[in-house]
Amino acid sequence: MTDIFLEGGRALIGTELVETSLAVSGQDIAQVDASRGRARLIIDSRNLLVLPGIVDLHGDAFERQMMPRAGVDFPIDVALADSDRQAISNGITTVFHATTCSWEPGLRSADNARGLMEAIERQRPQFAADTRFHLRHETYNLDAEAEISEWLNEGRVDLFAFNDHMDGTVADMAKPRKRNRMVERTGLSAGEFDRLVERVVSRADEVPASVARLAAAARAAQVRMLSHDDATPGMRQEFRELGADIAEFPINEETARAAASHGDAIVYGAPNVVRGGSHTGWTRASDMIAKGLCSVLASDYYYPAQLLAAFRLAADGVLPLTEAWSLVSAGPARATGLADRGVLAEGRRADILLVDDSVKLRPRLIAVISGGKLVHLTDATRLLTAVATPREAVVAA
């Protein structure tokens, strides 16, 4: 692997932006405040921000590559390769693909979740981003419990979330446009979809015990758990007692405060910050951040959002950039137990972004280093040196 030297730049070291140079060797940051040494690749980072790579613990934008239009499918391997390019080009060096495993057939089915998991495992060596599997289990998908338990036990799940969208599904049945969108996603006829929902809802009494068993399996496998759209402090407490200490998108301030009071990680969507509010009309993420009730911003459904959100928070005076950046890097790394990344420090994984911040609210990504490899570059004039590595001699058999 080629050693890299980043010359100059305003690097986020600890809680401050410091003019310094970084040396990368192998997959790690070898030295802060370094000299060129024998690095084969030197990148001019002067007048740029040097920031830790973004960690995205919940992103499902890859679904659009799989099904860009209702009923139009593309192969999973093609979709994932394109999603990797999109993630990297937006500064995401660690990506958890948030894969829904629902009672629905089609895009969010258990079959599709299995296919995604297997494809990620096959393609992982080819990805530029460190790519992981975040399983979003719809709790009414009772038939999938045994298989999910196996996946957890086999170490194939990196994050495990409990989702329950059944109340929303039932409510949307009375809204023609939303109902049609759900039906199209499943590939069923309207009548078939109605009958399926009726069968699933009829098993509601079985859900709590299933959730408890799966939480026990996740604890035994030491897989971190999340709860989704917690509506009350009591709901948050129930999931915390099961071992889910990450609260995704609590829907009101009261619940977010209950999470914060127990030290839970609190996740909101970066698109919420960029757009100035939630597309569902729920909690405004910037308000929660200003009140200290958010520790993680996720891309959710839009890969560019994390990079943009950090700069938006700084421009709006909600947080200084050094603190805003923690929400997309150190915060999610800590929440997911990835102690080797999220900060620029010696011995940490070399996930590094070079960002031109000269245009307000429109940060421009110049280069991305992921795991010590230069994987994205938009300005070749920044390359000061690129000496080819001699090929190893080929020994005849």
In a domain, 140, yes or no: yes
Same domain, residue pair 25 and 58: no
Q: Per the structure block, which two tokens stand in for 277? A: 């509010």
- Residue 296 falls within a domain, yes or no? yes
pLDDT of 388 > 60? The answer is no
Give yes or no for residue 397 having a pLDDT over 50: no
Residue 124 pLDDT greater than 90, yes or no? yes
pLDDT of residue 396 exceeding 50, the answer is no
CA distance 299 to 268: 9
How far is C-alpha 193 from the chain's CA centre?
Answer: 31
Q: Which range of residues forms the domain containing residue 26?
A: 4-52+344-386
Distance between CA atoms of residues 267 and 260, nearest Å? 11
Q: Tell me, yes or no, whether 22 and 163 share the same domain.
A: no
Q: Is residue 19 part of a domain?
A: yes
Whether residue 395 lies inside any domain: the answer is no
60 and 136 together in one domain: yes
Residue 394: inside a domain, yes or no?
A: no
Are residues 380 and 317 both part of a single domain?
A: no
Domain count, the chain: 2
Q: Does residue 393 lie in a domain region? A: no
Judged against a pLDDT cut of 60, whether residue 389 lies above it is answered with no
Residue 221: C-alpha distances to residues 206, 264, 361 (Å): 23, 20, 42
Lowest average pLDDT, out of 95-109, 129-143, 178-192, goes to 178-192
Domain check: are 282 and 151 in the same one?
Answer: yes
Lowest mean pLDDT among 118-122, 171-175, 189-193, 366-370: 171-175
Give the pLDDT of residue 385: 65
Domain final residue pick, 296, 314, 335: 335
Query: Could you tell me whether strands 159-163 and 130-138 are parallel, antiparallel, or unpaired per DSSP bridges?
Result: parallel
* Tens digit of each residue's pLDDT (9 = 90 or more) over 220-246: 999 999 999 999 999 999 999 999 999
Average pLDDT, the chain: 93
**The pair of three-digit structure tokens given for residue 252, joined into one six-digit string:** 């009101």
pLDDT higher than 80, residue 393: no
Are 288 and 272 a contacting pair, CB within 8 Å? no
Structure tokens, 168: 């929303």
Three-state secondary structure along the chain?
A: CCCEEEECCEEEECCEEEECCEEEECCEEEEECCCCCCCCEEEECCCCEEEECEEEEEECCHHHHHCCECCECCCHHHHHHHHHHHHHHCCEEEEEEEEEEECCCHHHEHHHHHHHHHHHHHHHHHCCCEEEEEEEEECCCHHHHHHHHHHHHCCCCCEEEEECCHHHHHHHCCCHHHHHHHHHHHCCCHHHHHHHHHHHHCCHHHHHHHHHHHHHHHHHCCCEEEEECCCCHHHHHHHHHHCCCEEECCCCHHHHHHHHHCCCEEEEEHHHHHHCCCCCCCCCHHHHHHCCCCCEEECECCCCHHHHHHHHHHHCCCCCHHHHHHCCCHHHHHHCCCCCCCCCCCCCECCEEEEECCCCCCCEEEEEEECCEEEEECCHHHEEEECCCCCCCCCCC
Q: What is the pLDDT of residues 11-40, one digit of tens each?
A: 999 999 999 999 999 999 999 999 888 888
CB 46 within 8 A of CB 7: yes
Both 240 and 319 in one domain: the answer is: yes
Please give the Cα distance from 49 to 376 (Å, whole number): 16
Percentage of the chain modeled with pLDDT above 90? 80
Is there a single domain that holds both residue 242 and residue 324?
yes
Residues 112 and 153 in one domain: yes
pTM of this structure? 0.92
Q: Say yes or no: 58 and 48 in one domain.
A: no
Name the pLDDT band for 118 (thresholds 50, 70, 90). Answer: very high
Per the domain annotation, does 397 fall within a domain? no
What does each C-alpha distance from 20 to 32, 46, 175, 218 come to in angstroms? Answer: 7, 9, 57, 42
pLDDT at 40 (0 to 100): 85
pLDDT digit string (tens) for 146-172? Answer: 999 999 999 999 999 999 988 878 777
pLDDT at 280 over 80: no
What pLDDT, on the 0 to 100 scale, is given for residue 395? 39
> What CATH number is associated with residue 66?
3.20.20.140
Q: Please give the structure tokens belonging to residue 65.
A: 């590559």
More confident residue, 217 or 69: 217
d(CA 43, CA 67): 38
